[in-house]
């Protein structure tokens, strides 16, 4: 996905069980992303006294493929495609394809 989605970005889910939900990217794992409050799964864990971790059923976010999320544009309230623009000094800037404004 050419690093179009980064940690801290506001995204909207466009496919799957959580379609339509928005959240912030917590972690990027190759071609997958972890989004806050999206794709919640129940994980049965054993207690680990050394780490101070109790056992039981824990709810946490699971990774979702990056192709199933789009960058959220607060100006339009929709998900939008992202392109890159090279500035005069050689820096790359992510821009929304529809409007051309910076992310």
* Structure token pair of residue 100: 């051309």
* Residue 102 falls inside a structural domain: no
> How many Cα atoms within 13 Å fall on the side-chain side of residue 85?
13
Rounded CA-CA distance 25/36 in Å is 6
Helical (H) or strand (E) element with 84? strand 82-86
Domain that includes residue 35, residue range: 9-46+55-96
Asked if 100 and 93 count as a contact pair (C-beta separation under 8 A), the reply is no
Query: Per the domain annotation, does 4 fall within a domain?
Result: no
What's the pTM value of the predicted model, to 2 decimals? 0.84
pLDDT at 55: 92
| Listed residue (29, 101, 99) closest to 69, CA to CA | 29
**pLDDT, one tens digit for every residue, the chain (103 residues):** 458 899 999 999 999 999 999 999 999 999 999 999 999 999 999 999 999 999 999 999 999 999 999 999 999 999 999 999 999 998 989 999 988 888 8
- Give me the CATH number covering residue 68: 2.30.30.30
Report if residue 1 sits inside a domain. no
CA separation for the pair 94, 100 (Å, rounded): 9
Q: What per-residue confidence (pLDDT) applies to 1?
A: 46
Task: Look at residue 2 in the predicted model and tell me its pLDDT.
Answer: 57
């Amino acid at each position: 996905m050419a690093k179009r989605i980064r940690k801290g970005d506001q995204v909207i889910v466009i496919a799957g069980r959580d379609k339509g939900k928005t959240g912030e990217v917590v972690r990027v794992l190759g071609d997958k992303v972890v989004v806050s409050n999206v794709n919640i799964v129940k994980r049965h864990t054993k207690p680990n006294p050394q780490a101070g971790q109790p056992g039981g059923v824990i709810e946490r976010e699971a990774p979702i493929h990056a192709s199933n999320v789009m960058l959220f544009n607060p100006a339009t309230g929709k998900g939008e495609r992202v392109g890159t623009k090279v500035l005069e000094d050689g820096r790359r800037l992510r821009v929304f394809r529809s409007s051309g404004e910076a992310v």
